[in-house]
Chain A
Amino acid sequence: MKRMPIRARSPAWILFAVICATAGEVFADGGRVIFTDQMGGYRITVFAEPIPLRPGPLDLSVFAQHRENLQPAENVRIDFTLQPPDRSLPPHAVAASRQLATNRLFQAAKFEVSTAGRWEVEMVITDPSGSWRHTFPLTVAAPRGTLWDVAPWILLPFFPIALFLGGEISRALREEKPRG
């Protein structure tokens, strides 16, 4: 077998780090429970993501269960209306859908939240026998800032730079050591 130009140390460490970095991109829609109660014949649990909620994309997922046996309720329509803190802005109305949810027990609705503050969520549950309405608050924290969002990308080059520098400095120190 042809000899390798160098003895392979551990390229796998570096490449598997890529897996580690991307592994966490996966997160089920769900998030934190922000509301749970009985509505009509159903037990409704609403999850919100991201945690904490900040201006930007917002995911509301609803899990509707039959009250008696806690089996998932299938023929239920769920509509959300989000009222911004500043009442002069128009409200966002979105119907939740199972297709938007990764966990098919849930129905999910995606919103774009523009400002921080106390939003008001109106949820309407509709089934063939009637409809139920409930309103609850949703607090959106202040935006984190663009710099924070891109911080990992900004810091990215400093890892190879530090490795390179560390290597060069240690070589420089070795060069200066008197031989023998």
Chain B
Amino acid sequence: MSANSLAFWTSWRLDTGLLLTLLLLACIYLRGWQRLRRRGAVRFGPWRLAAFGGGLATVWFALQSPLEPFSSLLLQMHMIQHVLLMFVAPPLLWLADPELPLLVGLPRFLRRSVAVPLLREPVVRGIGHTLAHPAVAWILFVVAAWAWHLPAFYELALSSEFWHQIEHASFFAAALVFWRVVIAPYPSRATLERWVVLPYLLLAGLQGTALCALLTFSDRVFYPHYNAVPRLWNISALDDQAIAGAMMWALGSLAYLLALTLVTVELWQKSAQPQWAGDSVHKTRPRPVRALPPSRRRAEQRVTQLRRLEQTQTPPVREPWDALRLPMLGSLLKKLAFRRTLQVLLFALAAWIVIDGLLGPQATAINLAGVTPWIHWRGVLVIGLLVAGNLFCMACPFTLPRGLAKKILPGNWNWPLPLRNKWLAVGLLVLFFWAYEAFALWDSPWWTAWIVIGYFVASFAVEGLFRGAAFCKYVCPIGQFNFFQSLVSPLQVTARNPSVCHTCQTKDCIRGGPQGNGCTMDLFVPNKASNLDCTFCLDCVRACPEDNVGLLAFVPSNQLSQATAGPVTARPGGTGWWRRTDVAALLLVLSSAAFVNAAWMVEPVVQLEEKWIAVLQFSNRPLFIALGMVLALLVIPVVLMLAVAALSRLLSQTRTELHKIAIQYTIALVPLAAAMWVAHYAFHLFTSAGTIVAAGNRFLADWHLATLSPAAVACACCGEAASWILPVEVVCLDVGLCLALLIAYRVARSDGSSRRTALLAWTPWAVLLVTLFAIGLWIFLQPMQMRGTLELGV
């Protein structure tokens, strides 16, 4: 084998993104195909699965095989790629009748919440209908083929990665549209008579011949790029061009000819069938069973049986996915000992932080109290809350000594009536955000240690003096943050089967019973509609004698959507509870803080702060920051909400009071703010995760348990943020914006007004949300302080 050939056969690419996408599609198709087969859909035979797999494999081969790296050196390689993308992969994919299996193969929540609503959209249906028209499909295909073979565009594709992507994507997309008309995959309906496909293919073949003849018989090289690159196998650029043209001619003609033959046979067979056997439009009309071959007859009988069965039986209600039903993990989560173990572990971590914060060096980047809470814990916390719900409250170390506190202190006082709301927590949160900036808490291990100690003391005192979990519910700022973030989590502690709860007499989940304590947060499981106030302690799970409480998976926006329904109730966690002023205030402060907290650490805002302190000659920085915080967290958000509410009321011409409208829509801020928190804290985690190595090594060295390692200290330096971090931050905001707009629209529709009125009422809120999205983007595009890390080279 020559060196050229050897190099050719070893030049494969491995693009994980493409591979994973194709594998994902294959898995979805396979799942749908299996489900349809189980339902008796005889149409989906094994060869359709093979066709789909073959189509995906062709796409992969065209883009990942040696054809790709050699396409910039030889035009014929590029042409083979195009033939595979235009004449092989699309027909194979359509022969698999992919639409139904792909839809059925999607996870249920994606199918119901995203795919089906999207496909029902008139705009999407209109686009699909237009593309299915033979004239449109033919023109698209021909324009794509000719336009990209014009020297100017072809050279553009060879000289720019972006345009090369567009070239391949447009070839493939145009070919998908073209071949769909030819193959007419089930369950699509032909828009015109089937015979139209014959001239459709003939004309496509003619124009293809013209294009290929131009390339094959030309006496000049059309694409100067191939004159500039080194020649392989002693093939001149002109010969290469002629071979490329001939290859496309032969392979393209073969594809058209094969399609023409098959369509002609199909038309001939149809014309030979009796009239009742179906026409081109209703080609799936069933034939009488007697006219079918025995194997097909058996299959049809099975389908009929299944249909009858379905008509006589009520389909069982499918329970959502339940984390507590997972083997091993589910039973582990339910055990009180598991929760205690997690609490003890976090208690030990807190003790470690306190010891190092008080006794260690006051250099943030190498002190455990300087990095662990502010970089690692916060980052892991927000990701955990997003993925799995309020796991931190489950493992909270501050409530570990609760039992001891209740024994030492009276433990039976009632929490004061005026404080049975979220106002105290709102105040404490504002106080914390102020202290964080004013005293640079993140930069002081000593202060951090004292905050942890203060937290333990406060928790011990409140839990020891008052009934229930007053600290978690009314005081703990971290808990409120966790409740807020877990509103967009996909997991929720709730009843597996609500009808079981309706017949329950004992109500052990709230009262407690022989199997365990009831909910200390006063959440009654059947009324629970969200994660608000739920600490994931799973007491209700253990207490329920019917084993009817689970950790169920829902579409993340469902909790927020349900909030728009139902009356305002005093029961925590139930529907409508969100419209309480104190809860709205909590949501508003945490939403504003998401932006303020991130903004206060970007260069332009820090400079603005310094400028204003100088201009106003403020000698007291904490006071300046207090004013700034009051403005940014309270005054501006409230004024803005009321102003937007006024505009919304004006446009929709309703008579609801302004503050009620503002409170109602506050919930729409949650997804965007939650995205902001996740993107912000995950940024610090991903850019500065190595700091724990430095701080841990220094701690162990101080206690003579290890030697101080200069390599470990290097981990405490701020490095360049990886290139994928910014896109991930933007995607977080993207998802947050979409969910926020959706929730706002559901709020607008919740009072039963018409679509027009709802759209008008929604518009000002949409503008506000898009503005907040733009502010979030601006913040992430600024250079961010790498807090808690050393400067490079230190």
Which chain A residues have a beta carbon within 8 Å of chain B's beta carbons? 1-2, 4-33, 36, 43, 45, 49-51, 63, 65, 70-72, 74, 102-105, 146-147, 149-150, 153-154, 156-157, 160-164, 166-172, 175-176
Contacts and interface: CB of A to CB of B under 8 A. Distances in A.
Contacts of A149: 726
A27 B727 contact: no
Contacts of A13: 127-128, 131, 176
B10 interface: yes
Interface stretch (B207-215, B225-233, B343-351, B532-540): B225-233
Interface in B745-794: 745, 754-756, 759, 777, 781
A150 B730 contact: yes
B306 A2 contact: yes
20 contacts: A1-B40, A2-B306, A7-B187, A11-B115, A13-B176, A15-B102, A16-B173, A18-B21, A18-B25, A20-B172, A23-B63, A25-B17, A28-B68, A30-B72, A70-B231, A72-B4, A150-B730, A164-B121, A164-B742, A176-B756
B754 A160 contact: no
A19 B22 contact: yes
Contact of B93 (A16, A33, A172): A16
B307 interface: yes
B69 A24 contact: no
Given A11-B99, A12-B98, A163-B123, A26 B7 contact: no
Contacts of B36: 1
B741 interface: yes
Contact of A170 (B123, B170, B188): B123
Contact of B13 (A10, A32, A102): A102
B59 interface: yes
Contacts of B310: 2
Given A15-B28, A153-B734, A166-B122, A65 B100 contact: no
B755 A175 contact: yes
Nearest to A69: B234
B651 interface: no
A163 B121 contact: yes
A157 to B, nearest CB: 4
A54 B73 CA distance: 24
A70 B229 CA distance: 12
Nearest to B44: A1
Given A1-B306, A166-B121, A28 B173 contact: no
Contact of A160 (B18, B118, B131, B755): B118
Interface of B: 2-4, 6-8, 10-13, 15, 17-18, 21-22, 25, 28, 36, 39-41, 59, 63-64, 66, 68-73, 85, 93, 98-100, 102-104, 106, 115-116, 118-125, 127-128, 131-132, 159-162, 164-170, 172-173, 176, 187-188, 228-232, 234, 303, 306-307, 310, 726-727, 730-731, 734-735, 737-738, 741-742, 745, 754-756, 759, 777, 781
A104 B731 CA distance: 36
Contacts of B40: 1
Contact of B122 (A22, A26, A71, A170): A170
Q: Tell me whether chain B's interface is mostly helix, strand or loop, or mixed.
A: helix
A118 to B, nearest CB: 20
A51 B754 contact: no
Contact of A9 (B39, B119, B170, B777): B119
Contacts of A2: 39, 306-307, 310
A108 B656 CA distance: 68
Given A10-B132, A12-B99, A156-B734, 11 more contacts: A8-B99, A8-B100, A8-B187, A9-B119, A10-B119, A14-B118, A51-B161, A70-B234, A161-B738, A166-B121, A176-B756
A1 B71 contact: no
A100 B270 CA distance: 57
A46 to B, nearest CB: 11
A171 B755 contact: yes
A172 B17 contact: no
A55 to B, nearest CB: 12
B11 A156 contact: no
Contact of A49 (B71, B161, B231): B161
A150 B726 contact: yes
Contacts of A21: 169
Contacts of A25: 15, 17-18, 165
Q: Which has the most chain B C-beta neighbours within 10 Å: A31, A103, A169?
A: A103
Contacts of B742: 164
A161 B69 contact: no
B755 A45 contact: no
Nearest to B3: A72
A157 B414 CA distance: 48
Nearest to B59: A19
B202 to A, nearest CB: 26
A22 B18 contact: yes
Contacts of A30: 69, 72-73
* Most central of B103, B104, B307 by chain A CB within 10 Å: B103
Given A15-B25, A23-B165, A50-B161, A105 B122 contact: no
Contacts of A10: 99, 119, 128, 132, 188
B518 to A, nearest CB: 40
A172 B755 contact: yes
B553 to A, nearest CB: 21
